[in-house]
Amino acid sequence: MRYSIRKESRMRKMAALCFATVVLASCVGIESRLTIRDDGSGTLTLTYRVSQLVAELGLSTTGTSAIPLPLTRADFDRSLKNTAGKVRLTRFDRSEDERDITIRADLAFDTFEALAGLDAFRAADLKLTTAGSLSTFSQVIAKAPTEPVSADALQMLDALFADYRLSFVLVTPRPIQTTSLGTLSADKKTLTYSASVKEVVTTGTDLLMSAGW
């Protein structure tokens, strides 16, 4: 019993470090698939895992969830209310185990502006611009830390979040001509960027995913 108490305390300290020092998004495993049509409408499929420790820490620290993404269907309903039906939740699944909360959410949007305006995506600074026949998309994956992450912090992250990854897929209506991050499919209509938590946390520059088609 003494061992388990000490172990839980140590893990909570690790989660607190992730929460306060390394940026909360680093403690969330995300898979995102964004499909954009020529008229600016499209779909977004999100699957994300949130550490139970981080979720509980947010509640105990602030009294409300500090997770930047919705954790319940009610959270989604509240966030979509102001879109006047321009963004709709077409699927929502939630499961839990001792370690993680896992969310799968499918969204359909009529305009890209409505999607980009959602509170959950403000940090990503989603943008879609059109100039003549050229469309350009951009998204902030992560900001570079203001201070170097310590070796101790990285060891703790490896202990808790080594298998958490960030994966972003963009599907476009026409072949992509320019990119800043990621790998293009053979038909050049799908751009994929994936990184481990450590890669994101230790980035020396802001990670910006962009594509032009």
Mean pLDDT of 100-125: 93
- β partners of residue 35: 43, 171
Give per-residue pLDDT as tens, 185-212. Answer: 999 999 999 998 778 877 888 899 999 9
What is the rounded distance in angstroms from the CA atom of residue 89 to the CA atom of residue 209? 25
Judged against a pLDDT cut of 50, whether residue 100 lies above it is answered with yes
What global pTM score does this model have? Answer: 0.81
What is the rounded distance in angstroms from the CA atom of residue 42 to the CA atom of residue 207? 24
- What DSSP string describes 80-143? HGGGTTSEEEEEEEEEE-SSEEEEEEEEEES-HHHHHTSGGGTTTT-EEEEETTEEEEEEEEEP
Give per-residue pLDDT as tens, 1-52. Answer: 333 444 445 455 545 445 443 444 445 788 999 999 999 999 999 999 887 8
Cβ-based neighbours of 110, under 8 Å, separated by 6 or more: 41, 85, 86, 87
Listing from the earlier edge strand, what are the strands of the sheet with 183-184?
Answer: 87-96, 100-109, 42-51, 28-36, 165-171, 190-196, 183-184
Lowest-confidence range among 16-30, 52-66, 68-82?
A: 16-30
Using a pLDDT cut of 90, give the percent of the chain over it.
50
